[in-house]
Amino acid sequence: MSNFCSWRGWRVLLALLATAYLLPHFAAAESPDLVISLVRHGDRSPRVPLNEALWPMGNGELTLKGVKQCYELGKKLRQRYFSDDFPETWHSGYSRHIAKSLNRTIQSANAILQGFYPAGVAETGLPNQTQTPSLFVYPPESDFLFGAHHICPGFVKRMEALENSATWRQKKASYGARFSHWAKVANRPKQIFSLIPLIDAVFIRKLYNIPLPDDLTPADQEQLIGLLDWFFTELIKDKQMLQLLSANFIQELIDTLDGYQARSQACKPARHKTCKGSHCERFVLYVASDLNLLTFLAIMGVARTQNVVGYGSHLDLLVSSSEARKPVVKWFLDDEPLILTACQGDCSLEQVLSLLRKQLPENWQALCEFGSGVQLKGSRFQYYDHNSETTKEND
């Protein structure tokens, strides 16, 4: 019996040793050539807090929880997708990083990069060898990549058309006098889109177990949160609206994947620590908002059953190739495989590029109508109502 136990123990030990030896090699073999991540920012304060004393960081800003959330995400992305030969200090040839023009998205991207590039490897010039990888952000007045809904009169016109449609009028009427009450509490027009900041505040109060203000009831809370899901469900039915909101990001993806394809045809992307240059790029990070993530998923044919993505949600595109096969693309949403119906399994790179190109509008500028009434005033976007002399706020 003792000999049997001893032999069984040796077998377990040998298996553990083999696993410890082989796993890094499997990880390196399966590590993708390119990872593209579209991330929603981390936990934030409400845009209309209803009680500003609860949120010392300000309205709509990243919380301490959100910073930590993004830092941990950066660590996870590195551990999940990259083998040990990926450099631990940033170089412009290794990765690119773009954030939406909001404080919370910029801070989220910086926190992700702090986790992705661990300190303690090389002198950085800052205390504790803190690294500051480059981060690109378009100015708010020209953030067509992620902020078209702020600066395109075409978005405003389409939103007004939806608000005035029979379906949307019926939805507002179904709430009776409460809809007018919500608009009064929010100090906004009697429009569903205008209520989103209030819905956001109610949702976050529920998330943090913060009591509602006296002018809102638990029934209001549930109805408002349900209205947000309804809003996104209706919004993504409009193909032109999806194209308006997603086309520039789609073109950005096409350009990135075309660049990868050109590099891979010339030579396989390098994986070693000494590699520096554009042919070493293996990670592209985009940090934006839930609207950007939800509309992109919808236009790609994988809309959410419930139209919500949590703080720190991330859509990852993994591009891999080998001598035996052409490049393939795997999709993951929050670490779960995402299957595109157009591919029915792993998509070839050519399939993905073809699918992306099919989603582009014939004329994005015509959809946006930029330059026909948008103005920036005190960091608050405004648009002109062409039917009146007044100016409305687009938030």
* Residue 271: predicted pLDDT: 55
* Residue 251: predicted pLDDT: 96
374 pLDDT higher than 60: no
Q: Are strands 136-137 and 95-99 parallel, antiparallel or unpaired?
A: parallel
Q: Are strands 95-99 and 283-288 parallel, antiparallel or unpaired?
A: parallel
| Calpha distance 159→175 (Å, rounded) | 20
Burial class (CB in 10 A: 0-12, 13-18, 19+), 313: middle
CA angle 133, 252, 312 (to 5 degrees): 55
Contact 48, 186 (CB under 8 A): yes
Angle between helices 177-186 and 218-235 (to 10 degrees): 90
* Residue 15: predicted pLDDT: 44
* Residue 275: predicted pLDDT: 64
Confidence label for 161 from pLDDT (cuts 50, 70 and 90): very high
Confidence label for 85 from pLDDT (cuts 50, 70 and 90): confident
Q: Which of 129, 80, 146 is nearest to 295 (CA)?
A: 146
Q: Which two tokens stand for residue 341?
A: 């119906």
**Can you tell me whether residue 239 is helix, strand or coil?**
helix
Q: Which of 136, 102, 76 is nearest to 284 (CA)?
A: 136
Rounded to 10 degrees, the C-alpha dihedral 166/171/176/177 comes to -100
Token match 């994986």: residue? 271
7 pLDDT higher than 70: no
Confidence label for 326 from pLDDT (cuts 50, 70 and 90): confident
20-29, 159-168, 317-326, range with greatest mean pLDDT: 159-168
Tens-place pLDDT, residues 121-153 = 677 777 877 888 999 999 998 899 999 998 899
Tens-place pLDDT, residues 249-269 = 999 999 999 988 887 766 555
Residue 63 CB partners (closer than 8 Å, separation 6+): 42, 43, 44, 45, 55, 57
Confidence label for 93 from pLDDT (cuts 50, 70 and 90): confident
Q: Which two tokens stand for residue 157?
A: 């016109």
Contact 313, 333 (CB under 8 A): yes
Beta-bridge partner residues of 40: 288
> In this prediction, what percent of the chain has a pLDDT beyond 70?
81
Q: Which of 66, 76, 75 is nearest to 45 (CA)?
A: 66
Tens-place pLDDT, residues 25-82 = 333 346 899 999 999 999 999 988 788 888 999 999 999 999 999 999 999 999 999 9
Q: Which of the pair, 384 or 66, is modelled with greater confidence? A: 66
Domain parsing of the chain, residue ranges: 30-147+240-358, 151-238
What is the distance, to the nearest Å, from the Cα of residue 275 to the centroid of all Cα atoms in its chain?
29
Mean pLDDT of the chain: 83
> In this prediction, what percent of the chain has a pLDDT beyond 90?
61
Residues 376-383: what's their mean pLDDT? 34
* Residue 277: predicted pLDDT: 65
Q: Are strands 347-348 and 374-377 parallel, antiparallel or unpaired?
A: unpaired
Q: Which fold has domain 30-147+240-358?
A: Rossmann fold (3.40.50)
Residues 75-97: what's their mean pLDDT? 88
392 pLDDT higher than 90: no
357 pLDDT higher than 90: yes
